[in-house]
Chains A and B, each alone.
Chain A
Amino acid sequence: MMAQAFAERLRAALPAVALAPRTEPGLMPAMVIAVAADDWAALGSAAHGLGARWSACWIDPEPDHWRAWVLYEQGGAYVLAQTALDPRAPRLPSLTPVFAAADRPERAIRDLLGVAFDGHPDARRWLRHQAWSAEVHPLQPGQPLAGTPPARTPADVGYAFRKIAGDAVHEVAVGPIHAGTIEPGHFRFATVGEQALTLETRLGYAHRGVEKLAVGRDAAGLLRLAARVAGDSTVAHAWAACMAMERAAGCAVPPRALALRGLLAERERVANHLGDVGAIAGDVGFSFAQMQFGALRERWQRRSAALFGHRLLMDTLCAGGVRTDLDLEGTQALLQDHARLRAELAPLTAILLDHPSLEDRLVGAGALSAADARALGCLGYLGRASGLAFDLRRDAPYPPYDRLPVRVPLYDSGDVAARMRVRLDEIGVALELMDALLAALPPGPVSTHWEAPPAGARGLGLVEGWRGETLAFVRFGADGRVARYAPRDPSVFAWPALESMLPGNIIPDFPVCNKSVNGAYAGCDL
């Protein structure tokens, strides 16, 4: 087992620390390692030394004591480290000095739960603006959902953005309301002339209290929420939450349901890539492609509505399966759609890849080096355009991908052009996968009876959403109610990557750089 080998290497790297890797059914495929809080940073350094990726960190305020979890991944093998925290004074060594990816997630935990991260290089708040004070940590179990907000929450004007000194340096502040139909967030550029020296993002504007709202919900209620963590990744987050709950409960999902979940996830991938390829072209004024891809996306969404009941595929999953079956007629319609989309994409792709004015804007713009992408833990198309090939469907396959060959497109220039090519290639891969799923759709039911597990049961869900590895952790309390839901969207790693790639680009190229990355705001703000 790969995870066991990874855990053994960690043990070998830390001879002085007593690591006892074990498995827990709900947390498979990860191996679980319990360490003392004092060894938290040493374990992080050992993982870093082995080339592992920091995937996620969350705190679970269990009734007796709090537990911190951190997930490491290396070559498709997962190790989940945990340590106990004192709820009266929770503190933990920061992993940010070792893994840059941990920076904002740790600050978010500090804001919401009051955990002090010793050695964190950035004392600024992240998800907290002005709706609650520094002494209040709304996700702590004792805090009421309603909180005690002011009648009118003031603008968050006191945030100390990094200052770039110099006579010619000019600051440009953008947001939280942007010029187009876009999610809210603030961008602070330091520029000289048109050229950006730095970009700093400030999110948290779409903080809706997702994790707090999850507490006390039943499985169906949690899934409604998970489906709305990020509206463009509704299948990914719902699937991750389902997987976490089903593993916690030892629920065996029927093969047909798993195949249909795969189909839904690939449909979500195709829809988003179609929209984004068009929008990338639109952001540099190539409205021909924007209209063409907009039309392809519209037809795709209409088929989703006709066969699965929702244009964005919201609420199509349920604990134990999926909510809609696919009949023979629907299968045929999808196969025809796939053939038609392939035929339509071929000439459009040829145009996109051989259009001088497009090339002029996209090639070299927003280049993210492989080293930066790795250091920041980039996932999905963002990583694949910068030479990082990780794909859960291939490297840690879960059903139905365990019986399908998954091609992973890989480029190394890391620029907007590469990210667009990865997306075009991924549409092709998704079409192959969907054809294969439809050709061998297992017979049988599309869901099984869901029975919530006893209090204390916990599970981990990991799926390859269209943006990359999407995570959910769920622990159940009494009466089948959720006691803890911790989702992690891959966009958490996209925003620092956008900041990293922007210096040297001109401000007018920011929109296309941003669109090519397309980090979710809501998915990060929760």
Chain B
Amino acid sequence: MLRILHRVITTGTLTEPLDASASLESLGIEVRRTLGARFAGSFAIRHVDAGSCNGCELEIHALGNPYHDLERFGIRFVASPRHADALLVTGVVSRHMQEALLRAHAAMAKPGLVIAAGACACDGGEFGTSYASCGAVDSVLPVDVRIPGCPPTPVVLLRGLLAALGREAGLTRPG
């Protein structure tokens, strides 16, 4: 235990300020405010790999490492679409995943956002449309926000998620 504590103390805090750019910082502040006012401080994402090569997933994982620490913004990943405010979709939508993706979307509380992350999800990327692939996510579901990149880096993903929150702030939420 002492070894672990020693390591924790000597490691210190690795978490970085998000970005040097002022616009992102101010967006971050805005997002915190929005989250506090409209989402009780928490925004829940259900990720669906609809036919990715696994590159995007690795970078989504990296959002949780100590350098990025996504949860500090009140954004967290959840296991059930019923708990989710947004569906984060990676990959082309393979035909074999089409129904599963549609069901996950149908299971979400509304209104809910659909975020397409990565080149494949945005425009079909290297795989496009074929006997095996429906192509980009918007061929299957209406997409609210697109995050480009192959794969998008964690910082680009963060920026895209923050943009999605800003967009949600403009929506009217019933009840």
Binding site for B on A (CB under 8 A): 129-132, 138, 143-149, 152-156, 176-177, 179-184, 204-210, 212-213, 224-225, 228-232, 234, 275, 279, 288, 291-292, 294-295, 297-298, 301, 305, 311-312, 314, 347-348, 350-351, 520-523, 525
Q: Sort A-B residue pairs by CB-CB distance and give the 9 closest, nearest first.
A: A147-B131, A231-B55, A209-B132, A294-B65, A131-B95, A231-B53, A179-B79, A231-B54, A155-B99
B99–A146 touching, CB < 8 Å:
no
Indicate whether A206 sits within 8 Å of B94 (C-beta atoms), given known contacts A232-B58, A312-B55, A312-B151: yes
Indicate whether A295 sits within 8 Å of B66 (C-beta atoms), given known contacts A131-B95, A149-B95, A208-B133: yes
A350–B65 touching, CB < 8 Å:
no
- Alpha-carbon distance A358/B55, docked complex (angstroms): 29
- Alpha-carbon distance A523/B92, docked complex (angstroms): 15
- Alpha-carbon distance A210/B126, docked complex (angstroms): 10
B44-88 interface code vs A (CB 8 A; 1 in, 0 out): 000111111111111111101111100000000101000000000
A149–B127 touching, CB < 8 Å:
no
User: A230 contacts which chain B residues (CB < 8 A)?
Assistant: 53-54
- From A156, A208, A298, B51 is in contact (CB under 8 Å) with A208
B3–A184 touching, CB < 8 Å:
no
- Alpha-carbon distance A184/B95, docked complex (angstroms): 12
- Alpha-carbon distance A452/B104, docked complex (angstroms): 46
A205–B131 touching, CB < 8 Å:
no
- Alpha-carbon distance A153/B51, docked complex (angstroms): 14
User: A147 contacts which chain B residues (CB < 8 A)?
Assistant: 130-132
- Alpha-carbon distance A311/B132, docked complex (angstroms): 28
- From A131, A146, A152, B96 is in contact (CB under 8 Å) with A131
Q: Does B145 contact A (CB under 8 A)?
A: no
| Residue of A154, A184, A208, A522 with most partner-chain B CB within 10 A | A208
Binding site for A on B (CB under 8 A): 3-4, 7-8, 11, 14, 47-62, 64-68, 77, 79, 91-92, 94-100, 102-104, 125-133, 150-151, 153
Min Cβ gap B47→A in Å is 5
- From A131, A154, A231, A295, B151 is in contact (CB under 8 Å) with A231
A153–B99 touching, CB < 8 Å:
yes
14 sample A-B contacts, Cβ–Cβ < 8 Å, listed by A number? A138-B131, A144-B131, A149-B95, A153-B99, A181-B47, A183-B54, A184-B51, A209-B130, A225-B126, A228-B53, A231-B54, A231-B57, A234-B55, A292-B7
User: A288 contacts which chain B residues (CB < 8 A)?
Assistant: 4, 7-8
Min Cβ gap A106→B in Å is 20
User: B98 contacts which chain A residues (CB < 8 A)?
Assistant: 152-153
- Alpha-carbon distance A305/B100, docked complex (angstroms): 34
Min Cβ gap A327→B in Å is 23
Min Cβ gap A401→B in Å is 26
